[in-house]
Structure 1
């Protein structure tokens, strides 16, 4: 893939145009990130395969600016006293010096109030025998401590148009999803606490465990494959940038019960698959237990 400059998004040969990075939680409504375009083809045994034809649209991620510390300034020194000053002047000067010394005594700044606790989520869901009920957003992998959500902290329920856009608006994509018993979808993007990675989790809810598993197995990408540790049903792909100043990306694809999940990770430089493996493992456990 060609890169346009240090740590810049690499244009995909076929796929959606890059969109501005979404504002952090609390800002304007985020623009939907379109990870890739996909092609649709018939697979053996009558299964429909979904094959990615271009790499992910990547965005530069960086560490958030540090919040400036509050520093209390000390009072200025008092002016010097001339040796020839009169006794009254000397007394006045002494009083002035004492006052200045008193004013220069360090004062204890008020303790910074702790951050307000995050509001409790009202999104609920349950899982039994691999069947997931309730709000699909409940099953999105929780954001780790210090992570910063893009858009709503609970994630977003995806419309059919957004799901289709996520697959490059391929002809008949919603019909193909429907053939697997597709029900609904949810997604959330966050930046890690160290500012070094951007993670997007996407869940697709299907009619049965078998349908979700078939869809996951037939979902492939034309990128370098990588093994995913800790998730027996997963397969993954990596895009390594030509220079470490550019953005690299990884994608993991798997299923648990009647939900197929995809995790995209964008980082600066060559991605470490250990990060993706850990995220995929945690997402599988979360879908298995429901929290």
Structure 2
């Protein structure tokens, strides 16, 4: 959520036979913009991500255009009046040093605006999580790129129902278990090697969260998840290393059930899932 010009050398006009004096091709007008290079191919993203990247790209273009306007649009200083008066109309083409134009001062690049601080708040006490559930989503590591809003997104009942692909009325089951709300956030790691999605479901009690987690299974080979007691892990290895593999971890902390999904190229390393699950559990336990 993405960065992702070459000015052709000034060429002479069509060639003509010289008469008395050789013809000279006109120089390009100052400030003429170079032709834009073709846009690079981009990875297809969800609409919310595309809008965010498009907005970031627009801001970058605006800032660059402003810098160019300052540097190119500022007129050069005129030659000294005394030197211009003293020189006759047919003066020698050699200009006096005092009559030379002074170069425009260089303009420093614009200072980027600081990243907005999140206003999402939450508190945890005795396994009970109050406030905005998005606050408890595993923080994005340094250099990571969020897909969609940086704070994450709440999930509606309709979006939750779409998660069930076997015809089960998942919302009826959830509400019977004291389900309250859900939130999710997806991001790409700084090295670009993994995409992580964290989803939280909040219930009325810890017992209800644990009951739902135990019945939330995957039809995949299981793997061990270390550093998170009670967690269960699943792995989906690709048939070829050039394809995408994935892992899923499921666990609870207090009244919140959490799921961490990881996608990587090739066979996933279960150590990565264990690290993410432990970090998510610690964040839910302390709230910081």
Asked if Structure 1 and Structure 2 have the same fold, meaning a TM-score greater than 0.5 normalized by the shorter chain, the answer is: yes
Alignment match, 1:159: 156
The structure carrying a bigger helix percent of its residues is 2
Q: Which stretch shifts more, 166-175 or 251-260?
A: 166-175
Give CA-to-partner distance per residue, 1:52-93, whole Å, 9 cap, x none.
xxxxxxxxxxxxxxx9xx9xxxxxxxxxxxxxxxxxxxx979
SS at match of 2:51: coil
1:197 counterpart = 2:194: yes
Q: Distance in 2 between matches of 1:268 and 1:95?
A: 66
Q: 1:245 aligns with which of 233, 242, 247?
A: 242
Give CA-to-partner distance per residue, 1:150-178, whole Å, 9 cap, x none.
11111111111111112226332111112
1:21 counterpart = 2:45: yes
Alignment match, 1:210: 207
- Consecutive unaligned residues of structure 1, counting only runs of 5 or more, are 1-19, 30-66, 71-90
1:169/1:218 CA distance change after superposition, 3 Å? closer
SS at match of 2:217: strand
Q: 1:223 aligns with which of 209, 215, 220?
A: 220
Alignment match, 1:87: none
Q: 1:170 aligns with which of 167, 171, 184?
A: 167
Q: Distance in 2 between matches of 1:26 and 1:242?
A: 30
**1:100-139 paired onto structure 2 within 5 Å:** 110=108, 113-114=111-112, 116-139=113-136
- Residue pair 2:161, 2:169 contacting (<8 A) in 1 also: no
Q: Distance in 2 between matches of 1:92 and 1:284?
A: 79
Alignment match, 1:286: 283
Q: Distance in 1 between matches of 2:48 and 2:266?
A: 23
Alignment match, 1:258: 255
Structure scoring higher RCO (CA < 8 A, sep ≥ 6) equals 1
- Consecutive unaligned residues of structure 2, counting only runs of 5 or more, are 1-43, 54-59, 65-91
Q: 2:147 aligns with which of 147, 150, 161?
A: 150
1:287/1:94 CA distance change after superposition, 3 Å? same
1:270 counterpart = 2:262: no
Alignment match, 2:229: 232
Q: Distance in 1 between matches of 2:119 and 2:131?
A: 11
Q: Distance in 2 between matches of 1:169 and 1:180?
A: 20
Deviation at 1:28, TM superposition (A): 6.2
Deviation at 1:117, TM superposition (A): 2.3
- Residue pair 2:241, 2:267 contacting (<8 A) in 1 also: yes
Q: Distance in 1 between matches of 2:47 and 2:194?
A: 16
Alignment match, 1:78: none
The structure with the larger Rg is 2
Give CA-to-partner distance per residue, 1:188-236, whole Å, 9 cap, x none.
1111112111111100001111111121122111101011111112111
The normalised TM-score by structure 2 is 0.65
SS at match of 1:274: helix
The normalised TM-score by structure 1 is 0.64
Give CA-to-partner distance per residue, 1:232-251, whole Å, 9 cap, x none.
12111011101111010010
